[in-house]
């Protein structure tokens, strides 16, 4: 069932967990937090049967550092958590990025700031994309919009993490984690990555290896950071991915990430029926962000409306990409009920009416 082409009705959280198993995740470390606890529950039942590692960590801080330890030996490992607890993991992500360790972290977002509540939100765009840890580093961030994509991008997350030796965040949200949809696991489509040149396996027949971020030599540290960013340029070149719909003749392009993508697609159809030439653009990799493509579309005079469940976090990146070449409006609600298709349609009409001189914020 879970590695075949048969469709199964499955929750996003379980889908991610099973996909991790299929991707060869050898160890899972986690601490419970709604709305992603099912991932740990599922794996606590499966991993021992497969002879793989599972630890109920004492904290999220411990969990992610266990991942750091595990992946340093060349195996695939992951943790999962949600917003406020992902904040606790930022230190380790900064280390892992500097140490070039293939950490995989699933963040099933909930509302903040602070404790917030368990209803869904998209307030971790910044935390994921710009990083909440210290120093200059970059994380690869993948944002699924369906349960099927939860599976597909989990496979991709493990692959990219090892291919580029860089931490990857799978950025889902409470809705995706809790919803059930028919999905197909298939087989992990990505090739195995050779980790033998750097993995810690004991210094047998080779020199010992040390993985650390301590940079006492200023000049070397400068070069190290340049190298990290050069690597990320390669990642941006090879891996930036997005989807677009009916942008060719569009006057206005609705832009969203994650599960909000579904609603802008539906809103686009309604707007088209009303005679408004709307298109859709959806970054799949939030980092690297598809600046180039948005810039191209803006250069063709296409305006944008960014629809998101936060105070305009991705909006800033879209605006940066557009760089004054066209206009952009924000349609948002900070947390809670996803902006409905009706709300989006109404907001787009208002924004167009006011020549993008306004943002539409729903309460």
Residue with smaller CB distance to another protein, 214 or 357: 214
User: What's the DSSP call for residue 177?
Assistant: H
Contact 174, 8 (CB under 8 A): no
Instruction: Decide if 36 contacts 60 (C-beta within 8 A).
Output: no
Tell me which residue of 314, 335, 339 sits closest to 113, measured CA to CA. Answer: 335
Bond before 339 cis per omega within 30 degrees: no
Closer to another protein at the Cβ: 19 or 71?
71
- Sequence-distant (≥ 6) Cβ neighbours of residue 298 within 8 angstroms: 304, 321, 322, 323, 325, 326
Cβ 210 to another protein shortest distance, Å: 4
Shortest Å, Cβ 56 to another protein: 9
Residues in contact with another protein by CB under 8 A are 7, 9, 26-27, 29, 35, 53, 55, 57-59, 61-63, 65-73, 75, 77, 91-92, 95, 99, 117-120, 145-146, 174-175, 178-182, 200-205, 208-214, 259, 262-263, 265-267, 336-342
CB of 327 to another protein, least distance (A): 25
Name the residue nearer to another protein (CB basis): 2 or 240. 2
Paired tokens of 181: 């949809």
By C-beta, is 208 or 324 nearer to another protein? Answer: 208
Q: CA 178, CA 10: separation in Å to the nearest integer? A: 9
Question: Is 26 strand, coil or helix?
Answer: strand
Q: In sequence order, what E strands does 150-189 have?
A: 168-173, 180-183
Using alpha carbons, select from 173, 117, 113 the residue that is nearest to residue 143: 173
Closer of 145 and 326 to another protein (Cβ) = 145
201: which residues sit within 8 A by CB, 6+ positions away?
Answer: 73, 74
Which long-range contacts link 339-343 to residues 24+ away (Cβ below 8 Å)? 339/260, 339/263, 339/307, 339/309, 340/263, 341/263, 341/266, 341/267, 341/270
Smallest gap, in angstroms, from Cβ of residue 299 to another protein? 29
DSSP label at 340?
P
Buried b (16+ CB within 10 A) or exposed e, 53-78: bbbebeebbbbbbbbbebbbebbbbb
Question: Cβ of residue 60: shortest distance to another protein, in angstroms?
Answer: 11
Residue (7 or 230) nearer to another protein, CB: 7
Task: Closer to another protein by CB, 133 or 283: give it.
Answer: 133
Question: CB of 148: closest distance to another protein in angstroms?
Answer: 8
Closest distance to another protein from the beta carbon of 38 (Å): 12
Residue 118 or 292: the one with the smaller Cβ distance to another protein is 118
CB of 324 to another protein, least distance (A): 32
Least Cβ distance, residue 261 to another protein (angstroms): 9
Q: CA 19, CA 187: separation in Å to the nearest integer?
A: 9
Q: Which is nearer to another protein, 264 or 321 (CB)?
A: 264
């Amino acid at each position: 069932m879970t590695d075949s082409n048969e469709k199964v009705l499955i929750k996003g959280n379980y889908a991610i967990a099973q996909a991790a198993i299929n991707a060869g995740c050898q160890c899972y470390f986690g601490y419970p937090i709604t709305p992603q606890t099912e991932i740990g529950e599922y794996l606590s039942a499966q991993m021992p049967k497969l002879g793989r590692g599972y630890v109920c960590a004492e904290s999220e801080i411990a969990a992610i550092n266990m991942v750091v330890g595990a992946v340093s030996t060349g195996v695939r490992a992951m943790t999962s958590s949600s917003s406020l607890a992902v904040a606790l993991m930022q230190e380790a992500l900064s280390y892992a990025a500097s140490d070039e360790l293939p950490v995989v972290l699933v963040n099933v977002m909930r509302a903040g700031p602070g404790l917030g509540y368990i209803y869904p939100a998209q307030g971790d765009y910044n935390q994921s994309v710009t990083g909440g840890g210290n120093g200059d580093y970059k994380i690869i961030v993948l944002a699924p919009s369906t349960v099927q994509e939860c599976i597909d991008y989990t496979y991709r997350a493990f692959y990219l993490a090892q291919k580029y030796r860089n931490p990857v965040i799978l950025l889902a949200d409470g809705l995706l984690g809790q919803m059930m949809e028919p999905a197909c696991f298939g087989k992990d489509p990505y090739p195995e990555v050779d980790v033998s040149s750097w993995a810690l396996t004991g210094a047998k027949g080779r020199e010992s290896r040390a993985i650390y971020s301590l940079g006492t030599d200023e000049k070397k540290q400068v070069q190290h950071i340049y190298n990290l960013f050069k690597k990320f340029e390669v990642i941006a070149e090879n891996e930036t991915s997005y989807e677009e719909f009916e942008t060719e003749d569009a006057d206005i392009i609705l832009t969203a990430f994650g599960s909000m993508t579904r609603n802008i697609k539906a809103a686009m159809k309604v707007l088209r029926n009303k005679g408004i030439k709307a298109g859709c653009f959806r970054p799949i990799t939030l980092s690297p962000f598809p600046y180039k493509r948005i810039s191209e579309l803006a250069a063709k005079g296409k305006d944008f409306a960014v629809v998101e469940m936060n105070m305009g976090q991705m909006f800033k990146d879209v605006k940066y990409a557009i760089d004054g070449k066209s206009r952009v409006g924000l349609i948002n609600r900070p947390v809670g009920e996803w902006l409905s298709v009706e709300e989006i349609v109404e907001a787009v009409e208002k924004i167009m009416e006011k020549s993008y001189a306004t943002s539409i914020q729903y309460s």
